[in-house]
Structure 1
Amino acid sequence: MTKPMLLAEFTRLPPATRAIVLDGLSGAIDLVAEAAPETHRFLRYQWFAAALAAYGGSARTILVERDGDPVIALPMIRFGPAPARLAAVPGCYWPFRSFPANADPGEGAFDALLDRLGQEVNALRVGPVCDGDPALEPLLAAARTKGWATLDRFVADSYILDMAAANADGGWPRNSTLRKNRFHEKHLGDHGALDWEFLQGAELAAGGFDALAAIEEKSWIAARTDGRDAKFTTTGHGAFWRAAASDPVLAKMLWAALLTVDGAPAAFSFDVNAGALKYAVANSYDPAFAKHSPGKLLYYRNLVRAMADGIDTVDWGAGDSGYKRVIGAAKGPAIRDWLLVRPGLPALFGRALRGMWERSGQRPAAPVVDEVSSEPV
């Protein structure tokens, strides 16, 4: 008679990890996003679907599974000449372009991703994305170990407002700031009745996006540019945000503060709320009210509301650092655009073009010098 084996005698096999390629966007993207760091849970199926609908492209998804559970999802679209076999992560530039990965995907997950990726493409573009991105950093580390060329170009510096620290250091906003804001609000009220609203995705989809677009159509972006960079107009990126808001989970993350004067849209601030972090995506105002700083008044109200809702940090992204520094933001991680080029001849060719790729980016801004102390700010 065979003696039964004791539980202690069984050898536990390591988790099985595999990477597969699926045509289109995989529905498992949402499962991975839900297990990603809270700051990256907006990278859902509909986020990428909205990008394809707004900007075009046909996607494939590399899905990495551990014991059958999805832990990394890498959507990608082809670009450039077909023989070059180039791909990019789709999405919107605001707040960044990355892909979802489980906060703990397990040993070997990114190795499996790269092995499958190298069979599909010669090079992958990821970005623009901030230094320290939780999906990109382990991907870069694995790529360098495996002999991939990793090329980056600087795009901009990000700016981060730590409201929790500022509030602990004597209160934020300062009482002097609040007094100035009340003064401006009083005179802005001479133009008509002021109404301050906060809208989430459902309200935005039901007419809120149209109000934001109406402000952009009166703003400097319409007067001084061709309008293609506007976030919510039909000639700008409005199709993306409207499509993204069709996902109820994403809709709850989308947030806008809106100021109306006598019922007419006058200023807005638009964000993506990701747990305790707020991504400040866009803000604008009607220049008819510029004398009274409606945009400033609105985003201070918006940030005070954010603190009350448990948000303690604001990622302002790139762009004009002047008003961001006045609020209290400091320079954060650099934003870069990355090319990962597979080993062999593609990597040799990529390394030869490193300088060209770097020069196609931006130059880091020179340090701002305080005229009184002559020290970099």
Structure 2
Amino acid sequence: MPLDAFTRLPPALAADCVDGLAAGIDTVAVRAAPTHRFLRYGWYAAALQAYGGAARTLTVAREGEMVAALPVVSTGPAALGLVGVPGCYWPFRSFPVAEDAGVEVAEALLGRLARSARALRVGPVYDGDPGLELLKAAAQARGWAVLDRFVAHSWLLDIAAKRAEGPWPRNSTLRKNRFHEKHLGSHGALDWRFVSGADWDEAAFDALAQVEQKSWIAARTDGSDAKFTGAGHGGFWRAAAADPVIAQMLWAALLRIDGVPAAFSFDVNAGALKYAIANSYDPAFAKHSPGKLLYYRNLVRAAEDGIGAVDWGAGDGGYKQVIGAEQGPAIRDWLFVRPGLPALGARMLRGVWRRSGKPEGTRTVAEAISPDADSDL
């Protein structure tokens, strides 16, 4: 019988759910898109350590090889049966799926999820996220309700495109930066350096926290949104850096003046994409633009290291557009609600869910508090 007479059977899928974080999360992460390979066991473990919660992990294996891992924690009133993806809001909350995973993998995930939860929250996450898109397609095919609410617009700087157009940064920009750097040096010796990999220790994180404690975020807010202080999210990033693979992706540009931290830019380098997580500076030096000087150094180094684009996330687009960023994908919060009465009820409340977000085009809370927070850049 000729080979083409045989029908190729679809690969066998096995869905499972284990208490805690599955060891196989890292197996999936290394097979995920390069932009999502930081979504490792250590990432979720850091979130549980910093923010609490008891995790379960839904997994899907294809012919014995794990291709999806969805960690979840219970959230909201227990009666709702709602679970969400743990993690940090920066750069987003999602889960790893192998690059070659298909919709059938997400269907298996949802089928297993329906046995223990009524609804799943994913996000905030970017439009086009690989795991999100598979879940949306599977949910729509299986009768789940799919609800979204807008969070913010993102901003994207295409370094490769800028460099293809001609010299970048422009010579005029570099001349201005040298002028400011000369005058900044009148305050003391300037020490520019980068931190990554094994360099991450308590002293490195403390230096970032020291800058935040002098910045607008400490002066104008309660400090809970600071990324590196004890009152903010410092516990998460310190715990995440315990994973050497994640630590290698964590990157900071740091300026010290006479040995004292004065400005920083903190990123996650994921393949050819840099996620700009946070930047801050000591306002005592604002006249000479330390943040701008530092970040241009950071961008030049990024281009030299093969970074092709910078994802600046949400926030004030003013200074980002000056550097050359353009509006990128929207960031949204998603609910996937189990078929039957839960899905029916969710569809009736779709408008309530959307109104709990932000109308598209509105400014974020950070922008409203401090429109000039990052204008130094």
Query: How many Å separate the matches in 2 of 1:12 and 1:126?
Result: 34
Within the candidate set 148, 153, 157, 2:153 is matched to 157
Relative to 1, partners in 2 of residues 1:255 and 1:168: Cα closer, same or farther, differing over 3 Å?
same
Q: Does 1:105 align with 2:101?
A: yes
Q: Cα deviation per residue 1:263-287 (whole Å; 9 max; x = unaligned)?
A: 1000000000001000000000001
Once the two structures are TM-superposed, the CA of residue 14 in structure 1 deviates from its matched residue by 3.2
Q: Does 1:73 align with 2:84?
A: no
Query: How many Å separate the matches in 1 of 2:328 and 2:216?
Result: 27
Within the candidate set 183, 189, 195, 1:199 is matched to 195
Structure 2 partner of 1:186:
182
Alignment map for 1:292-303 (pairs within 5 Å): 292-303=288-299
Q: Does 1:53 align with 2:45?
A: no
Alignment map for 1:237-248 (pairs within 5 Å): 237-248=233-244
Q: Cα deviation per residue 1:264-313 (whole Å; 9 max; x = unaligned)?
A: 00000000000100000000000100011100110000000000000010
Query: How many Å separate the matches in 2 of 1:14 and 1:307?
Result: 43
Runs of 4+ in 1 over 2 A off after TM superposition: 5-14
Letter in 1 for 2:340: G
Q: Does 1:129 align with 2:125?
A: yes
Query: How many Å separate the matches in 2 of 1:11 and 1:84?
Result: 44
Structure 1 partner of 2:144:
148
Query: How many Å separate the matches in 2 of 1:120 and 1:310?
Result: 44
Letter in 2 for 1:133: D
Query: How many Å separate the matches in 2 of 1:40 and 1:362?
Result: 26
Query: How many Å separate the matches in 1 of 2:153 and 2:3?
Result: 55
Within the candidate set 339, 342, 346, 1:350 is matched to 346
Structure 2 partner of 1:371:
none
Contact 1:158/1:331 (<8 A) preserved: yes
Alignment map for 1:148-297 (pairs within 5 Å): 148-297=144-293
Letter in 2 for 1:101: V
Contact 1:66/1:106 (<8 A) preserved: no
Contact 2:274/2:310 (<8 A) preserved: yes
Q: Which segment is superposed worse, 289-298 or 194-203?
A: 194-203
Once the two structures are TM-superposed, the CA of residue 119 in structure 1 deviates from its matched residue by 1.2
Contact 2:102/2:134 (<8 A) preserved: no
Contact 2:150/2:333 (<8 A) preserved: yes
Letter in 2 for 1:110: A
Relative to 1, partners in 2 of residues 1:145 and 1:262: Cα closer, same or farther, differing over 3 Å?
same
Instruction: Report the 3-state secondary structure (helix = DSSP H, G, I; strand = E; otherwise coil) of the residue aligned with 1:232.
Output: coil
Alignment map for 1:77-96 (pairs within 5 Å): 77-96=73-92
Instruction: Report the 3-state secondary structure (helix = DSSP H, G, I; strand = E; otherwise coil) of the residue aligned with 1:120.
Output: coil
Query: How many Å separate the matches in 2 of 1:204 and 1:44?
Result: 18
Instruction: Report the 3-state secondary structure (helix = DSSP H, G, I; strand = E; otherwise coil) of the residue aligned with 1:135.
Output: helix
Structure 2 partner of 1:370:
none
Q: Cα deviation per residue 1:296-332 (whole Å; 9 max; x = unaligned)?
A: 1100000000000000100000011111000000000
Length-normalised TM-score, structure 1: 0.93
Query: How many Å separate the matches in 1 of 2:151 and 2:102?
Result: 31
Query: How many Å separate the matches in 2 of 1:280 and 1:344?
Result: 41
Structure 2 partner of 1:337:
333
**Residue-pair matches, total:** 363
Instruction: Report the 3-state secondary structure (helix = DSSP H, G, I; strand = E; otherwise coil) of the residue aligned with 1:306.
Output: helix
Query: How many Å separate the matches in 2 of 1:22 and 1:343?
Result: 23
Letter in 2 for 1:342: R
Once the two structures are TM-superposed, the CA of residue 6 in structure 1 deviates from its matched residue by 11
Length-normalised TM-score, structure 2: 0.93
In structure 1, runs of 5+ residues without a counterpart are 368-377
Query: How many Å separate the matches in 2 of 1:177 and 1:106?
Result: 46
Query: How many Å separate the matches in 2 of 1:146 and 1:171?
Result: 51
Q: Cα deviation per residue 1:106-144 (whole Å; 9 max; x = unaligned)?
A: 462111111111111111000000000011101111101
Note the aligned Cα RMSD (angstroms). 1.7
